Chains A and B, each alone.
Chain A
Amino acid sequence: DIVVTQSPDSLAVSLGERATIDCKSSQSLLYNYNNKNYLAWYQQKPGQPPKLLIYWASTRASGVPDRFSGSGSGTDFTLTISSLQAEDVAVYYCQRYYHSPPLTFGGGTKVEIK
């Protein structure tokens, strides 16, 4: 099975500063057929289900603020929060949805305010 690994497990960032989360896949998530990376990012706040932020590695979901951006291709991906706001405190997960199950989630990164 494809393994998806996130880092760091947690990070503390000052308000207004940049937060960066990495996600690494054990196999490429780039599907040559359509040149798309089958990777998504979710945000989960306590007591809530995950919320889709980014799909195709870099496409923001509807209503997601533009301070959230995704980048990367193949096996290495990054979620960046350009200017951390108080409401961004949450756990963030990457998920690969490439080609065949299981549709693996990363282990999560907890983002807190420094």
Chain B
Amino acid sequence: EVQLLESGGGLVQPGGSLRLSCAASGFTFSSYAMNWVRQAPGKGPEWVSLISGSDGSTYYADSVKGRFTISRDNSKNTLYLQMNRLRVEDTAVYYCAKEAQPDTVMAPYDYWGQGTLVTVSS
């Protein structure tokens, strides 16, 4: 059974940093691209970042480029999102999401975690 478990969310002041983790199990982690998607309260999902399974290629939304860094440790089956210089508008539930097709990028997401809440406020 595929499982994705996010952790690391919390309350942080503007300008602060957080590191999110997503522990994956139930599939060959290294074969799949992984994504972070966030959802602000009452809003729709917003794609944040993507990392390929094999060569570690990364992609970012313009809204987080230069502030967030996505990474993965295939030996630990874990996805990360380092978030620096956080802003109030980064407040959201952050989901990790697994792409549905192996050995590619930019596929739909067949599994999502339950999310971790990041609140940026003074």
Contacts and interface: CB of A to CB of B under 8 A. Distances in A.
Secondary structure call for the B interface = strand
Interface residues of A, number: 27
Nearest to B63: A102
B42 to A, nearest CB: 10
A5 to B, nearest CB: 12
B112 A97 contact: no
Contacts of B95: 49
B47 A99 contact: no
A44 B39 CA distance: 12
Contact of B47 (A42, A44, A61, A102): A102
Secondary structure call for the A interface = loop
Q: Which of B45, B47, B95, B115 counts the most chain A CB atoms within 10 A?
A: B45
Contacts of A93: 44-45
A40 B45 CA distance: 13
Contact of B106 (A42, A50, A99): A99
A49 B115 contact: yes
A105 interface: yes
**Closest 6 A/B residue pairs (Cβ):** A49-B112, A40-B108, A103-B47, A55-B108, A101-B59, A108-B44
22 contacts: A42-B45, A42-B109, A48-B114, A49-B97, A49-B113, A50-B112, A51-B112, A55-B100, A55-B107, A61-B100, A93-B44, A95-B108, A97-B108, A100-B106, A101-B47, A101-B60, A101-B106, A102-B47, A102-B62, A103-B35, A103-B106, A105-B46
Interface of A: 38, 40, 42, 44, 48-52, 55, 61-62, 91, 93, 95, 97-108
